């Protein structure tokens, strides 16, 4: 069963594409909500009435929740398996689809950091590491299935522009594609073997390098969704050019903007520097609540009209609290959440229910 034929995989993929052809996802990454609430954060609708973030986003029109999973973090008690269970349970109660984001690391994975979990660092043989990766993925998903929490989508890695599962403090370039493909294909196969109806996502940071990456990954097993991060601060693509790229990619892939955000202010609620600043702004979209809203409306329209299948807002609830992060006390994102500094919902909440 572990080595299903390519024909079967492609057949099943065609069924998914048909079933989901009319679904446009408007999602939220709520990985921080449990921690923020434990730190005393409170959330309100625009009228000041307290809300549960999961229920609130679902009632506002969001139909997908994304949650991240670290392997064995020693620096936090969140984004662990137990925390993911808590999040998926809340998403299930709220009636939303779920996307599980395997970082395959003990900490944040991105193009500059794809650090192998400490538990696997002694493994140098690629085939042995691939087997461990496969078993971990299968075990995690099987345990979730036992709890009735099997996700609808699975990301095999987070922003995997560079080589995955690499030793600490290594650059990730040049990519050993033979090793990279073996590892990724084992992760994809693990998801398929647990349940072939789960949609598998490959996630690349920023549109700028995605064509090159796909051209290199020619022996990658079939997957179902190509997820892209899109943050204007770190991309040379404006919205029209992004639409052109999605239109091109959509000839071969179902494309989703699986991470995006936009600042609604350049002010601070704490002393921790914010990640999105003036260089995050696009012309015609000021750092105001309305500017944030119109950015999301226009981005979503462009993605939809270009053949994309969804837009996910990254960390809309990472508000400022007295709890700490690896970077200091507070939030590095409170000016890009979908709640103001008092926890009240901002106008951009309306993008979940707006017409394309």
pLDDT of residue 36 exceeding 90, the answer is yes
Element (H, E) at 100: strand 97-102
pLDDT-derived band of residue 14, with 50, 70 and 90 as boundaries?
very low
Per-residue buried b or exposed e for 44-72, using 16+ beta carbons within 10 Å of the residue's own CB: bbeeeeebebbebbbbbebbbbbbbbbbe
73-81: Cβ within 8 A, 24+ apart: 73/106, 73/107, 74/106, 74/118, 75/107, 75/326, 76/35, 78/31, 78/32, 78/34, 78/35, 79/31, 79/103, 81/140, 81/143
Q: What CATH code is assigned to 6-348?
A: 3.20.20.80
Element (H, E) at 297: helix 289-305
pLDDT-derived band of residue 21, with 50, 70 and 90 as boundaries?
low
Do the Cβ atoms of 204 and 210 come closer than 8 Å? yes
Residue in 35, 259, 315, 334 annotated catalytic:
259
The pLDDT of 189-195, averaged and rounded, is 98
Residue in 159, 163, 315, 334 annotated catalytic:
159
Is residue 159 among the annotated active site residues? Answer: yes
Is residue 315 among the annotated active site residues? Answer: no
CA 76 – CA 107 distance, rounded (Å): 9
Residues 6+ apart with CB under 8 A from 124: none
pLDDT of residue 234 exceeding 90, the answer is yes
Give me the pLDDT at residue 20, please: 60
CA 202 – CA 223 distance, rounded (Å): 7
Percentage of the chain with pLDDT > 70? 94
The pLDDT of 4-11, averaged and rounded, is 40
Q: Where are the domains of the chain?
A: 6-348
**SS3 state at 279:** helix
Give me the pLDDT at residue 52, please: 98
CA 156 – CA 158 distance, rounded (Å): 7
The residue among 1, 69, 5, 25 whose CA lies nearest residue 254 is: 25
């Amino acid at each position: 069963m572990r080595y299903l034929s390519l024909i079967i995989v492609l057949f099943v993929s065609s069924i998914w594409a048909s079933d989901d052809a009319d679904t446009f996802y408007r999602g939220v990454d709520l990985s921080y909500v449990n921690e923020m609430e434990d730190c005393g954060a409170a959330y309100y609708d625009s009228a000041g009435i307290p809300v549960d973030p999961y229920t609130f986003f679902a009632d506002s029109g969001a139909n997908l929740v994304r949650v991240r999973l670290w392997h064995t973090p020693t620096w936090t008690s969140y984004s662990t398996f137990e925390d993911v269970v808590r999040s998926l349970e809340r998403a299930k109660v709220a009636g939303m689809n779920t996307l599980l984001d395997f970082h395959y690391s003990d900490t944040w994975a991105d193009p500059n950091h794809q650090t192998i979990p400490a538990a696997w660092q002694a493994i140098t043989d690629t085939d042995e590491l691939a087997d461990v990766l496969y078993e971990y993925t299968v075990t995690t998903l099987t345990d979730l299935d036992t709890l009735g929490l099997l996700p609808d989508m699975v990301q095999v890695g987070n922003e995997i522009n560079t080589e995955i599962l690499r030793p600490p403090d290594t650059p990730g370039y040049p990519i050993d594609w033979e090793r990279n493909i073996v590892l990724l294909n084992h992760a994809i196969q693990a998801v398929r073997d647990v349940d072939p109806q789960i949609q598998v996502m490959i996630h690349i940071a920023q549109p700028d390098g995605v064509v090159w990456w796909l051209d290199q990954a020619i022996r990658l097993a079939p997957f179902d969704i190509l997820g892209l991060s899109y943050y204007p601060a770190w991309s040379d693509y404006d919205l029209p050019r992004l639409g052109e790229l999605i239109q091109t990619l959509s000839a071969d892939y179902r494309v989703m903007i699986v991470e995006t955000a936009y600042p609604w202010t350049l002010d601070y609620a704490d002393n921790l520097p914010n990640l999105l600043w003036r260089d995050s702004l696009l012309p015609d979209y000021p750092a105001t609540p309305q500017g944030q809203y119109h950015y999301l409306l226009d981005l979503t329209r462009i993605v939809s009209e270009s053949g994309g299948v969804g837009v996910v807002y990254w960390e809309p609830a990472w508000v400022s609290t007295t709890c700490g992060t690896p970077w200091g006390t507070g939030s590095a994102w409170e000016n890009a959440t979908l709640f103001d500094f008092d926890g009240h919902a901002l106008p951009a909440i309306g993008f979940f229910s707006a017409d394309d």
